[in-house]
Homo-oligomer: A and B are copies of this chain.
Amino acid sequence: MSKFAIGIDLGGTNLKGIIMDQQGHGRHVTRIPTEAHRGGSRVMENILRLIDELIAKEGSKEHLLGVGIGTPGFVGEDGMLLGGAENLPGWKGTQIYVPIRQRFNLPAVAANDVTVMALAESRFGAARDVKNVICLAMGTGIGGGIVIDGRLYKGTHGMAGELGHVSVDPEGLPCNCGQKGCIERYASANGVAEMAIRMCKEAMEQTAFVELVRSDESGVTSKLVYDYVCRMLARAVGMYCNIFAPDRIVLGGGLMMAGRVILDEVVKHAGSYCFSDIWERCKVVIAECGEDAGVMGAAAMVFDEFSQFQGYQIVTESRTAVPAH
């Protein structure tokens, strides 16, 4: 009997849901507003409403294995949002698994939204044929995800993968996290923009340079910025190589809309920041799952966690799965 999973991607603006099979074929893709400004319990109600809508479209929950959710922040093993979701007021402290279990008698699993994207890339995207994968999502900030032997690595209390906060320059730009020189300060959308502004300011003070810029403004400035971004990113990529010796490093997020320009430059330099034995066996590639990565990875988690699940046996308030015989 084939099984399906619900995957939900919790964004600041929209909740997106999918029903998907284990091979990554999805249907009933649905969006409703998150209503983040109305607080954590409203967000939870909307998640339940989205699950309702998906089940209604499917017609039955008979073949559903469970619900997977990608969310900003850290999720504890018991389904409590532990922190790190600053743009969702009141979401921290919310219990995610219990309401889903109570309303639908379905097991739930949640993890950080970027780590979930990494799982999608490793299962269905740019790293679907390998086992050990590092994924960087370079958007406003930088998030990371780690897939070890084909499974999502969440770390203690779901907090692993803060790959945007490794320092590539300990005396560099101060980061919101309290450190200096985090790669997020250089290779995120915000970081690139700030760097461009700073370089332009510096250029104003160097006459010869300004003349150069004036002679070919668009080209020179952006190239300077990108060279710098790529060099910093190459340092971080080299570091991930020495630590993980991964099969593949997947670069995604809005910044990678620039595509091969960044990729080629990073690949050119990263080898000088790690062991050649490791570098020769690692490929750096661009993400492939696009905007569906979140829901697909969330649904994929369900198959990983509950493929033996056969329904709750309500004995006490604690979650008890009856194993398959």
A-side residues, CB < 8 A to B, are 74, 82-84, 130-132, 144, 146, 148-149, 153-163, 165-171, 177-179, 235, 238-239, 242-247, 272-275, 277-278, 281-282
A171 to B169, CA, bound (A): 8
Do residues A273 and B179 form an inter-chain contact, with CB atoms below 8 A?
yes
List chain B residues, Cβ under 8 A from A162.
242-243, 245, 274-275, 278
How many identical chains are in the complex?
A: 2
25 contacts between A and B (CB under 8 A): A82-B277, A131-B156, A144-B243, A146-B243, A149-B153, A154-B245, A155-B244, A155-B245, A156-B278, A156-B281, A157-B245, A157-B277, A158-B245, A159-B281, A160-B245, A162-B278, A163-B242, A166-B239, A166-B242, A170-B170, A170-B235, A178-B272, A179-B238, A179-B273, A243-B243
Question: What secondary structure prevails in chain A residues at the interface with B?
Answer: loop
List chain B residues, Cβ under 8 A from A239.
166-167
List chain B residues, Cβ under 8 A from A161.
243, 245
A271 to chain B, nearest CB (A): 9
A166 to B242, CA, bound (A): 7
Do residues B132 and A156 form an inter-chain contact, with CB atoms below 8 A?
yes
Do residues A159 and B83 form an inter-chain contact, with CB atoms below 8 A?
no
A71 to B314, CA, bound (A): 50
With A167-B235, A242-B165 known as contacts, the answer to whether A132 contacts B155 (CB < 8 A) is yes
List chain B residues, Cβ under 8 A from A84.
275, 277
A71 to chain B, nearest CB (A): 15
With A179-B238, A243-B162, A243-B243 known as contacts, the answer to whether A273 contacts B156 (CB < 8 A) is no
Which of B130, B156, B166, B273 has a CB less than 8 Å from the CB of A245?
Answer: B156
Do residues B277 and A243 form an inter-chain contact, with CB atoms below 8 A?
no
List chain B residues, Cβ under 8 A from A165.
242, 274-275
A128 to chain B, nearest CB (A): 16
A169 to B158, CA, bound (A): 29
A272 to chain B, nearest CB (A): 6
